[in-house]
Amino acid sequence: MTGVRVAGVGLTHFGKHPERTGRDLFAEASQRAFEDAGVPRADVEQLNYGNFMGELSEHQGHQGPLMAEAAGLTAPATRYESACASSGVAVREAVKDIRNGEADVTLVGGAERMNNLGTAGTTEALAIAADDLYEVRAGMTFPAAYALMARAYFDKYGGSGEDLAEIAVKNHDNALDNEFAQFQRAITVEDALDAPTIADPLGLYDACPITDGASAAVLVSDEYAEEHDLDAPVSVTGTGQGGDKMALQDRQFLARTPAAERAAEEAYDDAGIGPRDVSVAEVHDCFTIAEVLALEALDFYAPGEGIGAAARGETTRDGDRPVNLSGGLKAKGHPVGATGTSQVVEMTRLLRGDHPNSDAVPGPVGVTHNAGGTVASTTVHVLEVEE
């Protein structure tokens, strides 16, 4: 089985681009990825593309071939939809295809256009990632769903709004020097605690913003990288995916995310590592409580012990295992279909040393964690710098 190298990566600025189409955003991200990779477009054998709400936000389905065209490809293209884990799944399928010899060169990525829907429209569009009969008809929104999980967590394990605020502060700090981030400004714990409530116990600063943006990565086989003498020091060495019941009410746990636990275990086994080997992580912090659930699912902490990690300085940039050095979804932004691949993009830059926060990376092993819905679907990837 061949190894999988990240040959090149690209992002657009994540933020408000309501007048730019998804195809324009993806064209820009993929252009950057090709320039970074030094791989000719003609060598690309397939596009794996993630997008969630294109029908609602752009009146555009069938985005695979459209985005191949935008990227300048004639290769077959498939859209993957798995809510906010859409392009994490796209990465996983690309890794599997390269490993099993189906392809030597793939373009993976994703894009989402959200700001043109406005806050109410985006709230409605995101809600369709929840169960329509059991949850949406009861007035559940995504902030509400994570608020339900946060209260269940506090009730079972303890924790406070201040613990969550520390996570927001950390991720804003990490985004300060990231030119692709939506928010390049610091906030304080007081700012977060004083912000308007969205769905208690979650306030405005516990939530990621509404974001437009795109991400892309060129993945190649070891053989292709060697034949073409590519400078591609980072490999995807592990991939895992987990699933769970769609509705929170049908889950065994309201304060744990077993889908992510299963994805992490699979990815660790695949890479031949354990959680103690991980130096740095990019996790799906769509809400601050989601970062806590991710840290525990990745087995960096036992259930109930991840809540204080940011406050204790363990996941900050000078901590033992920095988390979300990109700024995370919280500050970098969350164009939902682009997020999974954007985590791989940021991790690649962090590990190979050309990210503004690379100096905070304490070791050669990174993990990305991308969650769909209320973690009814999850992908986890392990990235490592080759010796």
Active site residues: 84, 334
Binding of another protein by 216 (CB under 8 A) = no
Can you tell me which of 60, 123, 184, 358 binds another protein, judged by CB under 8 A?
Answer: 123
**Of 259, 256, 327, 239, which is closest to residue 293 (Cα–Cα)?**
256
Cα–Cα distance measured from residue 89 to residue 108, given in angstroms and rounded to the nearest whole number? 10
Binding of another protein by 169 (CB under 8 A) = no
Can you tell me which of 55, 60, 116, 152 binds another protein, judged by CB under 8 A?
Answer: 152
* Shortest distance, position 141 Cβ to another protein, whole Å: 6
Can you tell me which of 190, 200, 226, 269 binds another protein, judged by CB under 8 A?
Answer: 200
* Shortest distance, position 334 Cβ to another protein, whole Å: 16
Strand, helix or coil at 115?
helix
x-marked contacts with another protein along 131-150 as a string, rule CB under 8 A: --xxxxxxxxx-xx--xxx-
Q: Name the residue nearer to another protein (CB basis): 1 or 120.
A: 120
Can you tell me which of 155, 162, 190, 354 binds another protein, judged by CB under 8 A?
Answer: 155
How many residues of this chain bind another protein (CB under 8 A)?
A: 36
Q: Which residues contact 379 (CB under 8 A, 6 or more apart)?
A: 85, 88, 89, 91, 92, 239, 240, 241, 263, 340, 369, 370
158: DSSP letter: -
- Whether the Cβ atoms of residue 289 and residue 144 lie closer than 8 Å to each other: no
Which tokens sit at 235? 């490999």
Binding of another protein by 124 (CB under 8 A) = yes
Q: What is the largest CA-CA distance in the chain?
A: 57
CB neighbour burial string for 295-315, b if at least 16 within 10 angstroms, e if fewer: bbbbbbbebeebbbbbbeebb
* Shortest distance, position 330 Cβ to another protein, whole Å: 17
DSSP count for the chain of H helices, then E strands: 13, 11
Residue 385 to residues 123, 146, 235, 268, 373: CA-CA distances in angstroms?
39, 34, 6, 16, 31
Can you tell me which of 176, 195, 254, 360 binds another protein, judged by CB under 8 A?
Answer: 254
Binding of another protein by 208 (CB under 8 A) = no
* Shortest distance, position 298 Cβ to another protein, whole Å: 23
x-marked contacts with another protein along 224-253 as a string, rule CB under 8 A: ---------------------x-xxxx---
* Shortest distance, position 120 Cβ to another protein, whole Å: 5
Can you tell me which of 198, 294, 310, 345 binds another protein, judged by CB under 8 A?
Answer: 198
x-marked contacts with another protein along 332-371 as a string, rule CB under 8 A: ----------------------------------------
- Whether the Cβ atoms of residue 306 and residue 150 lie closer than 8 Å to each other: no
In sign, the C-alpha dihedral spanning 317, 320, 324, 325 is: positive
- Whether the Cβ atoms of residue 197 and residue 147 lie closer than 8 Å to each other: no
For binding to another protein (CB under 8 A), which residues are involved? 119-121, 123-124, 127, 133-141, 143-144, 147-149, 151-152, 155, 196-202, 245, 247-250, 254
